[in-house]
Amino acid sequence: MKSASLFAPFQLGGQELANRVVMAPMTRTRTSPGDVPNELMAKYYGQRASAGLIISEATDVAPHSKGYLWTPGIYNDEQVRGWKLVTDSVHRNGGKIFQQIWHVGRMSHTSLMPDGQQPWGVTDEQAVGSDVFAHGSDGRLTFVRASKPRQIGTEEMPALLDDFERAFRNAGEAGFDGIELHAANGYLFEQFMNSTLNTRTDHYGGQNFENRTRFLLEVVDLAAGIFGAGRIGIRLSPFGHYNSIPADPHGEDTFFYLCRELDRRGVGYIHLLYQLLPSGNMEQVTRFEETNLPDAFVKKVREEFRGGIIWCGSFSRESAEQALATGMVDMIAFGRPFVGNPDLVARFKNNWPLVEADRSAYYTRNGEIGFTDFPNFNPHSAEVD
Ligand SMILES: Cc1cc2nc3c(=O)[nH]c(=O)nc-3n(C[C@H](O)[C@H](O)[C@H](O)COP(=O)(O)O)c2cc1C
């Protein structure tokens, strides 16, 4: 199979990406009140526009999809205006940006939900053992146990789908080049797909993978109706157990059925979390024993799905190039390296050193600090020995 360099262009949904270095979605909590994106975020994304593709931080489809404080939304006009600042900034700097859309499902807390209601779950089973960032009982901000959810009623599904459709229209209006659905890491789409968790008896549940993937595929179709299927990506974390996702004896069958359905629709890409993520914080992959997706599995993904494939998780320039050389993957996404290196592509290209950003800056409200204050590498001021 033909392999390409990290710096070769890639065709995605009728648009050319300048290279195969993708900026992974990263929640950075710098929104303005009302979950509105702002000039500071526009600056941050604009600084990173030399990535072939930027995937935005996870964005709420509706107030009831929220699971972390200060994540942005895409459900009202003010948010659309805020995101327009972001997409304009990226486009002015020659980049492309997809919006990552999520619904956290049961991974929320009553203090984050509208009117203090229970989080919305595929069933009413609580994510025992998993925390979300919210208000503790003393009102202070802290990690608290995800609240007990209530099962989304079958009769509520059409309105939920309408929420997604509104979000996609808004994303189009805000100038995004496409959409990535966050169907990984134990949020609502994965809650529906997991056969152990999804014990529903309606046509969205049970021991039938057509039913368990129905919600995701209905949402894919809505997004495709607005952006075209080639500009839709799906993020997935097969074998992952993050956010209390239980082991799924039908996981692989469901996953490959989904690959075939996405292929049939001409979906732009599948974004795989290449490193298995057992638990813990979503970015702390390297703290665990590193286990990658099995070779036979990634080979089969390639056979079943003809669109683009992205892998993500602890890649360096070298391991990314090795991955591309296998021919199993088309683009590599980098998360943490983009925090401290806005010019990551130029640094990779020129073998310039990388800055490692301090984790304490990831989710703060400190404005520019740890967010937009990382400079591009200046080869003229670098020491030469
Ligand atoms: C600060 C931070 C925030 C993150 N937020 C998200 C998010 O909003 N959506 C998502 O799918 N993944 C999120 N992730 C996971 C990253 O997209 C990526 O999968 C992970 O960091 C592993 O890639 P890396 O080793 O290149 O950092 C986040 C990671 C970090 C470091």
The residue to mutate among 98, 235, 282, having the most atoms of ligand 1 within 8 angstroms of its beta carbon, is 282
**What is each CA distance from 124 to 22, 121, 150, 213, 250, in whole angstroms?**
36, 6, 4, 19, 21
Tokens representing residue 200 in the block: 């529903």
Residues 6+ apart with CB under 8 A from 206: 198, 199, 200, 212
Domain assignment of residue 325, yes or no: yes
Q: Compare 4 and 324 and report the one with higher pLDDT.
A: 324
pLDDT at residue number 206: 86
Task: Check if 41 has its Cβ closer than 6 Å to any atom of ligand 1.
Answer: no
CA of 313 from ligand 1 middle (Å) equals 8
Write down the residue that tokens 């296998």 correspond to.
326
Q: Is the CB of 345 under 6 A from ligand 1?
A: no
For residue 385, what pLDDT is reported?
Answer: 45
pLDDT value, residue 290: 60
| Gap between the Cα atoms of 32 and 37, Å rounded | 6
- Count CB-CB contacts under 10 A for residue 206: 15
Q: How far apart are CA 155 and CA 160, in angstroms?
A: 10
Is residue 319 domain-resident? yes
- Residue 3 forms part of a structural domain: no
Instruction: Determine the distance separating the centroid of ligand 1 and the alpha carbon of 71, expressed in angstroms.
Output: 14
Decide: 362 in ligand 1 pocket, CB within 6 A: yes
Q: Give, for ligand 1, the residue of 283, 285, 293, 319 to mutate: max count of ligand atoms closer than 8 Å to Cβ.
A: 283
pLDDT above 90 for 365: no
- Residue 316 falls inside a structural domain: yes
CA dist 58 and 214 (Å) reads: 22
CATH number for position 261: 3.20.20.70
**Mean pLDDT for the chain overall:** 93
In a domain? residue 384: no
Q: Tell which atom from ligand 1 comes closest to the C-alpha of 184.
A: 11
User: Band of the pLDDT at 3, cuts 50, 70, 90?
Assistant: low
- Is the Cβ–Cβ distance between 104 and 65 less than 8 Å? yes
Residue 43 structural domain? 10-361
User: Each residue of 285-325: pLDDT tens digit?
Assistant: 444 456 889 999 999 999 999 999 999 999 999 999 999 99
Give the pLDDT mean for 177-191. 97
Tokens 């208000």 locate to: 135
Taking the centre of ligand 1 as the mean of its atom positions, its distance from the CA of residue 132, in whole angstroms, is 16
The protein residue with its alpha carbon nearest to ligand 1, atom 14, reads 26
Catalytically active residues are: 187
- What is the residue-wise DSSP string for 240-269? --GGGPPP-TTHHHHHHHHHHHHHHHT-SE
Written as one string, the DSSP assignment of 110-165 is GGGSGGGPPPEESSS---TT-EEEEE-TTS-EEEEEPPPPEEPPGGGHHHHHHHHH
Torsion angle of the four alpha carbons 125, 131, 133, 136, in this order, in degrees rounded to the nearest 10: 90
Assess whether pLDDT exceeds 50 at residue 367: yes
Is the shortest distance between the CB of 335 and ligand 1 below 6 Å?
Answer: yes
Confidence band of 1 (pLDDT split at 50, 70, 90): very low
**What pLDDT is attached to residue 383?**
54
DSSP H helices, the chain, are 39-47, 77-92, 157-173, 188-193, 209-212, 214-227, 251-265, 295-304, 317-325, 336-340, 344-350
Number of domains in the chain: 1
